[in-house]
Amino acid sequence: MNTRTTQLQARQRFIENLAGSDLFRHYQTAFHTLTGLPLSLRALEDEEHVEEVVTRRGVAGVVHTLIPVKVGKNPVALLETGHVRLEPANADTFAPLASALLDDDRSPAEIRSAKVHFEQAPMMAPARYDAAVCLLRSFAIQLGESAHRLLFAHATHEPEAVRNAKIFIHAHLVEPMTLEDVAKAVNVSPFHFCKVFKRATGLTFTDFVNRARVEKAKRMLMRPAARITEVAYDVGFQSLSHFNRSFRRIASESPTEYRGRMKNERSGVLAAG
C-alpha cells in the first residue's frame, strides 16, 4: 500500500470518527428537527477548494450549500445541506430545466417525469434558509475545534504504553517534559517508546507535545482577558519565542492572528443572525 493510499484512508477514518461523534450526531438530529433540512458531513476532496460558505443552484432551481469545517485555517471537511427550492414551482422556474432536457435530446415522457419530480421538491422561504445556513456557520466553528481535539483522542488500536503516555502528557503539559520522563512513567525503555509512539501517532514525541500545548493555548486565547505571554507559559512553553514559532508552524498563523480571526468569525456569525 503506497503512502498516498494510506493518507486517504487515514483521512476518511478521521472524517468517519468526526461524523460519528456525539457532537455531530446530536446536532444533525436537532438541525433536521428544527429546519427539516438534511445535514451531512464529508471529506473535502482533493480537487475541491471551498474556503468559505458556498450555495450552488442547479438547473431545476434546487440549491445546496457547502460549509467548510476548518482546523486552524485549513478546511478538512464539508457540512452539506439544502436540496430544496427557494422559489415556487411554476412554468417559469421549470423552463430552464425543460430547455436543458430538450438540448440533451430527452423524450417528452422523460420531461414530464422530470416535471413531476421538480414539483415535488420541497420549498423553503429564502429567509428561513439563510437562517439555517447561519446556524451551520456557527456549528462549523465548533466542529472544527472538536476536529482538532480529535487528533489527540485515544485510539483503541494504540498500544497501552502510547495511551498511557498521552494521558501523562496532557496531565503534565505545564511542566518541563522529556521523552525519557514519559517513557519512565509508562514503564518502557526510551528507545522502545520512541518507536511505538511515532508508529502509533505519526508524530515525534516533541511534535505531539507541542501540538497538545498549542491546542490548549487556542482554548485559552478565546478568553478576552488572557495575555498571550501568560498563555505561552501556562501551557508549558519555556519562552515566548518558542511558543510563537510552534504556534505558527502548527496553526499556520500567529497567536494574535488566530485570536483576531476567531473573534471576527464569531462576530460575523452573530451579525449574520
| Domains in the chain: boundaries | 3-87+124-150, 89-122, 160-272
Predicted confidence band at 10 (pLDDT cuts at 50, 70, 90)? Answer: low
> When comparing pLDDT for 203 and 68, which is higher?
68
Q: Is the pLDDT of residue 153 over 60?
A: no
Per-residue cell: 261: 480571526
Predicted confidence band at 57 (pLDDT cuts at 50, 70, 90)? Answer: confident
Candidates 3.40.50.2300, 3.30.70.890, 3.40.50.300, 3.30.450.40; CATH matching 3-87+124-150: 3.30.450.40
> Taking the model in full, what pTM does it have?
0.57
* Side chain identity, residue 32: H
Q: What is the pLDDT of residues 22-36, one digit of tens each?
A: 889 899 999 999 999
Q: Is the pLDDT of residue 270 over 80?
A: no
Percent of the chain with pLDDT over 90: 40
Q: What is the pLDDT of residue 273?
A: 52
Candidates 3.40.50.1950, 3.30.70.580, 3.30.390.10, 1.10.10.60; CATH matching 160-272: 1.10.10.60
